[in-house]
Structure 1
Amino acid sequence: MFDYIQSPSVIAKAYMRISAYLHETPILHSETLNELLDAEIYFKVESLQKTGAFKVRGVLNHLLELQEQEQLPTKIVAYSTGNHGIGLAWVAKMLGIKARIYLPKNTSQVKQQAATHYGAEVIYTEGRKEAELRAKNDSANGFYYLHPSDSDATIAGAGTMCYEALQQLKFSPDAIFAACGGGGLISGTYLAKELLSPTSLLIGCEPMQANDAFLSLQQGHIFSFAESPDTVADGLKTLALSERTFYYLQKIDQFLLAEEYEIYYWTAWLIHLLKVACEPSCALNMACVQDWLRNQQGSKKILILLSGGNIDPILYREIWKEDYLLNKPKR
């Protein structure tokens, strides 16, 4: 049983360790959206990160920490639905070490190509479960196994996204919204907000059709899917939380779910309003924000973590088959 949480100070240390290697991604807002929802909504846009997603933060912190301890491996292995693999490939290339990544065959093409572009050995599997098993097995063959979210260093690195955002905002938002796949981002976000903005609510978001974290919190124990759930939010097709991230998730304030239609709708609207790439896996935050605002009085200041923008061109065309923009958002 996992039963401890890191000191929030690890986030500041992680940020000092990795910030020189990465972009300081911007905070954007939309006056149109704020007027429609009667709120002040700020988006931390990690789609403009060097690898197009926040995952590189956790990988970089993990491997640089090993390097500081003179324990940097010569070869690393991971499984991924895309963004973790891309981040791993990029960091491995920078540090001059071999990377092997197992990707399910249904991983979006743009994410497959990015991982290959950075020089990683990419091996395709029939599904996520096989990818995870084969990556773990390679740890017996001299590879260092780097889980997408289940380590203190990876969680601390992921939390630097919110840490950076709160420093940029210079005020405490009423609520912070973050999507949950394996739970690494929201675990790190919890530490960041405890360090810089403890009065802010932290609200987790998940697809209705991939709601293992929601069910885990509801049932009081980790719920696991037998197979990858069917959702357009491909970065959130996690089979289960780890004991570590489940422990963190029990500390957050609320957990909300988004329907598939809402995820498509908000992906289209955020791309339209912000003029940046936005994966469905983080656009779903806005569905949960809209739901949350309906039960609030007065205007609220909200920070949303847009965790990635590696959106597949096929999916992009699929999104615009329906004219979601005809239906304006409302509170």
Structure 2
Amino acid sequence: MLSLTDIENAHKRIKPFIHNTPILSSQKLNEYLGHNIYFKAECLQKVGAFKARGGANTLLWLKEQGHDIKRVVANSSGNHAQAVAWAASQLGIPATIYMPTNVSKVKAQATAAYGAEVVYCENRQEADRKVAEAQEQPGVFWIPPFNHEQVVCGQGTAAYEAILELRAQGIDTIDAAFAPCGGGGAISGTHIATKGLCPEAKVIAAEPLAGNDAAQSLRCGEIVTLDQQPNTLADGAMTLAVGEITFDYLKKLDGMIEVDEPEIAYWTQWLSHLLKLHVEPTSAMTMEAVKRYLSDKTEKQNVLVILTGGNVDNGKMKAIWEEDYLSQVPSL
């Protein structure tokens, strides 16, 4: 299993390339809920998402290992695609990204803008097949969205940075850390970093109920694969199945909270309003898990939330704002 040392090594690799994103809080939200909630704003990261960390770390690690990289390929619904395209451009390596046709248009356009070749596929299954075929070519390396140890290590540097910065601010420990779960890379890395620095802290994931393959997998004790790509506002969590690597870490979590679509829209609206940030629904849904965790806590908690991204296209924004939830003040 990976350790805190692996996260630290990843952080050293990528530090010259990424932003040390700020930790934000909302006094009003803390008043509403009665606890201290700290947001690691990865929506302000390179490419607008935490995925830049995993993409950069994996490519830099491959170069460290002495590989002759002719091209990198990836399959992604958006943020990972941008991350690989951006990281490859930083190192002067050609990239090809396979994306389903229903991908967020803003994410697809941004991927191409970073210089990658974008290949559209009928669905996620076709994208998965094509990227597997491409990696068989000499000098071509596949950087998967989550099921790779160096991707996990890169993603874990967000929580690592946040906890160290909170300590520098005089907050010696946190009681719980939260991140969304799509394929499991973000929450796996968050688990490693958090347990390494704050062993007593809880680590909890949020997943869309409409695409709850991870929760099903944990209940069954084996990886469950969805029959088709889920229809959810949380487009960063539309994976069909978690990976073998990430599943090992999901089994160590202190909770996996399934979040329904109205709750995802609710928290996307409220976090955008309170933090004055462009927040993806995938990262906003994590606040529903926070709310449920805090519901029975009598002592004030220090909670860390990894806000994983901020790339939302117009179509998704319209769906999020079909109903106005700002009249419903957050409470426990």
Superposition TM-score tier, normalisation by shorter sequence: over 0.9
Q: 1 CA distance for matches of 2:324 and 2:75?
A: 35
2:101 is matched with which residue: 85, 101, 105? 105
CA contact (8 A) 1:205 1:255 kept: yes
User: What is aligned with 1:218?
Assistant: 219
Letter in 2 for 1:164: E
Matched, 1:10 2:10: no
What does residue range 106-255 of structure 1 map to in structure 2 within 5 Å?
Answer: 106-142=102-138, 143-170=140-167, 171-255=172-256
Please, which runs of 5 or more residues in structure 1 have no aligned partner?
A: none
How far is the alpha carbon of 1:166 from its aligned partner?
0.5
Matched to 1:125, the amino acid is: C
Shift of 1:272: 0.5
8 A Cα contact 1:85 1:115, kept in partner: yes
CA distance in 1, matches of 2:287, 2:221: 27
Count of matched residue positions in the alignment of Structure 1 and Structure 2: 327
Q: Distance in 1 between matches of 2:205 and 2:319?
A: 27
Unmatched 5+ stretches in structure 2: none
- 2:59 is aligned, of 45, 59, 63, to 63
TM-aligned CA distance change 1:51 to 1:72, over 3 Å:
farther
Match of 1:291 in 2: 292
**What corresponds to 1:324 in structure 2?**
325
Normalising by structure 2, we get a TM-score of: 0.96
Q: CA deviation at 1:313?
A: 2.1
CA distance change for structure 1 residues 90 and 82 in 2, over 3 Å: closer, same or farther?
A: same
Q: Aligned-pair distance for 1:317?
A: 3.0
Query: Which residue in the other structure is 1:48 paired with?
Result: 44
Of the structure 1 ranges 200-209 and 70-79, higher mean CA displacement relative to structure 2 is found in 70-79
- Alpha-carbon distance between aligned partners in 2 of 1:301 and 1:293, rounded to the nearest angstrom: 10
Calculate the aligned-residue CA RMSD, in Å.
Answer: 1.0
CA-CA distance at 1:72 after TM superposition: 4.3
Q: Aligned residue for 2:277? A: 276
- 2:18 corresponding residue in structure 1: 22
2:73, 2:143 within 8 Å by CA — same for their partners in 1?
yes
Stretch moving more, 107-116 or 287-296: 287-296
Distance 1:289 1:7 in 2: 25
Output the CA distance in 1 between the equivalents of 2:304 and 2:29. Answer: 14
Contact 1:205 1:258 survives alignment (8 Å): yes
User: Which AA in structure 1 matches 2:54?
Assistant: G
One-letter code aligned to 1:168:
E
CA–CA distance in structure 2, aligned partners of residues 328 and 72 of structure 1:
55
The alignment-based identity, stated in percent, is: 45
SS of match in other structure, 1:225: coil
Q: Is the CA contact (8 Å cut-off) linking 2:265 and 2:321 kept in structure 1?
A: no
* CA distance in 1 between partners of 2:243 and 2:291 (Å): 29
In structure 2, relative to structure 1, the CA distance for the partners of 1:7 and 1:72 (3 Å cut) is farther
